[in-house]
Chains A and B, each alone.
Chain A
Amino acid sequence: MALVTTEFWRQGDFVAAAAGMPDLPRHQLPHPVAGTGKDAMATLADRIADDLIRTIRQSAPA
């Protein structure tokens, strides 16, 4: 699972394809995350946590 911000989403597409893993699970985050402060990061983490867990479960091998 890769967490990728909007500004780097296209690069994520490129790198995943170049590495032969175009279906690598990724979750899109707003940009920026770094430097936004602990409160903003905690709010973001709370907001996306359920989605992340769901995506990880869906991508896990059966």
Chain B
Amino acid sequence: MSELLTAENEAAALEWLHANRCTDGLPVVIPTPARVERLILASGLDGALSLGAMGPGGGDVTVEAIAANAVMAGCIPDHMPVVIAAVQAILDPAFDLGEMQGTTHCTAPLVIVNGPARASAGVVGGFGALGPGHRANAAIGRALRLAMINIGMARPGESDMALLGHPGKFTYCLAEAEEASPWAPLHTDWGYAADASAVTVVGAEPPHSVIFVNDADDPDSPERLLATIAAVLANLGSNNVHFRGGAQTVILNPEHAEVLAEADLDRRDVRQRLAELAVAPAATIRALNPAFAPTSDTPVPAVRDPDDLVVLVAGGTGLYSVVMPSWAAGAHTNPVVHAPIQLDQACELPTAR
């Protein structure tokens, strides 16, 4: 089990945690033994159980260590199954977490929650889902980040070399707005039953806004929406264009999703068409950034495979959807990973203590 530190009081403990670079810079809940034990109990798992090693530092990912970071992040017992699943997902070797933590690029794991766990944990997918004010979204994403800092040992300028970082490196978690979506939930794309719970995790830049005004009188409106999104997917500064691969995320607001669904497009159709449209002119890349110049004049796809696109529905209704390009590097070029959320092994605990 972990080493137990002592401090005169919680204020002194907080100062110690800040001084030893164990926080994200914001105050944390002090992970006392009782608080940590409570979240271990909520997980339904043995605290000594190891889920693997986390890069770049190679720390041992025990359930106890996850629980300690979840306490610090402000998690309550209901959040634990989602936190555990998110950690399991980023430990997938295909995610190249150690390399991703060390890159100079601005990327962070975006956690997308589907299924009944959204309600049990309180993760929301509506207005401002990636902004402040949503306890579960904030705490779960923050728990993952604190685990990456304290177990993975990613420290700015030393082992996390992001030149600037991005605000999603504090927390980056939302639910799909399944009830507002015209399509089957995202996690069914990975083979989960619609009534199962799962997290999808993808390395993602901050959201890039896509404005689009639908015109119900214009039969080309759905295609114009797709072309607008594709233009942002293939933006000429993006790694996905220059490295020609990597997952990218498209979050459609419910209104935009409905425009596409009314044109009889399902999620697979949308991914396929976006992959076709999201291309950059080779000559332009050659002129702007010759270090990454393509050898032929064939238009360069920003999406190598339609399955590299994560398309989900979330947010309030209105004019804006978002695109999140990715790092697109590492041995596996930044693929999508996922993990089931085990609700049946979690213990229900009273929330107040």
Contacts and interface: CB of A to CB of B under 8 A. Distances in A.
A31 B58 CA distance: 28
Nearest to A34: B291
B35 to A, nearest CB: 29
Interface in A15-59: 15, 18, 35
B157 A10 contact: yes
A18 B58 contact: yes
Contact of B153 (A8, A10, A18, A35): A18
Contact of B56 (A8, A10, A15, A35): A15
Contact of B57 (A8, A10, A18): A18
A33 to B, nearest CB: 13
A15 B161 contact: no
A24 to B, nearest CB: 15
Contacts of A11: 102, 158-159, 161
Contacts of A14: 56-57, 153, 158-159
A15 B159 CA distance: 7
Contact of A15 (B102, B157, B291): B102
Contacts of A35: 291
Interface residues of A, number: 7
A61 to B, nearest CB: 26
A10 B159 CA distance: 8
Contacts of B58: 18
Nearest to B104: A8
B243 to A, nearest CB: 16
Contacts of B291: 35
A11 B102 CA distance: 8
Nearest to A7: B161
Nearest to A11: B161
Contacts of B56: 14-15, 18
Nearest to A14: B159
Nearest to B59: A18
Nearest to A15: B56
Nearest to B159: A14
Contacts of B102: 11, 15
Contacts of A15: 56, 102, 159
Interface in B144-182: 153, 157-159, 161
Interface string B82-118: 0000000000000000000010000000000000000
Contacts of B57: 14, 18
A35 B292 CA distance: 13
Interface string B213-238: 00000000000000000000000000
B163 to A, nearest CB: 10
Contacts of B159: 11, 14-15, 18
A50 B44 CA distance: 60
22 contacts: A8-B161, A10-B157, A10-B158, A11-B102, A11-B158, A11-B159, A11-B161, A14-B56, A14-B57, A14-B153, A14-B158, A14-B159, A15-B56, A15-B102, A15-B159, A18-B55, A18-B56, A18-B57, A18-B58, A18-B153, A18-B159, A35-B291
Interface of A: 8, 10-11, 14-15, 18, 35
Given A10-B157, A11-B158, A11-B159, 6 more contacts: A10-B158, A11-B161, A14-B56, A14-B153, A18-B153, A35-B291
